Amino acid sequence: MKTYTTVSGDMWDLISKKVYGDEKFTDVLINANPEYRMLYTFPAGITLDIPEIEERISADDLPPWKRADG
């Protein structure tokens, strides 16, 4: 598992954007680091676990011709 060391002012969504390229994985980070769940803004020097993610494509994200109902 990868890790990320915070810099002063980091927030969950910013870290998600830095490590995954998208804020939508913020919940993955929080769930992997429950001891820091109550922090909104991080101080420098906290090491967070960064789990691998499996990007799942929703049927709503597919063009109509690739959907099962389309």
**Extents of the domains making up the chain:** 2-51
- What is the reported pTM? 0.76
- Which residue, among 47, 17, 11, has the nearest Cα to 32 in the 3D structure? 47
pLDDT value of residue 64? 72
Over the chain (70 residues), the average pLDDT of each successive run of 10 is 96 97 95 97 98 72 66
Going by C-alpha positions, the residue among 30, 27, 26, 23 that lies closest to residue 48 is 30
Q: Do 37 and 30 touch, CB atoms closer than 8 A?
A: yes
Domain 2-51, what fold?
A: Membrane-bound Lytic Murein Transglycosylase D; Chain A (3.10.350)
pLDDT of residue 65: 73
CB crowding 13-32: b at 16 or more within 10 Å, else e: ebbbeebbeeeebbebbbee
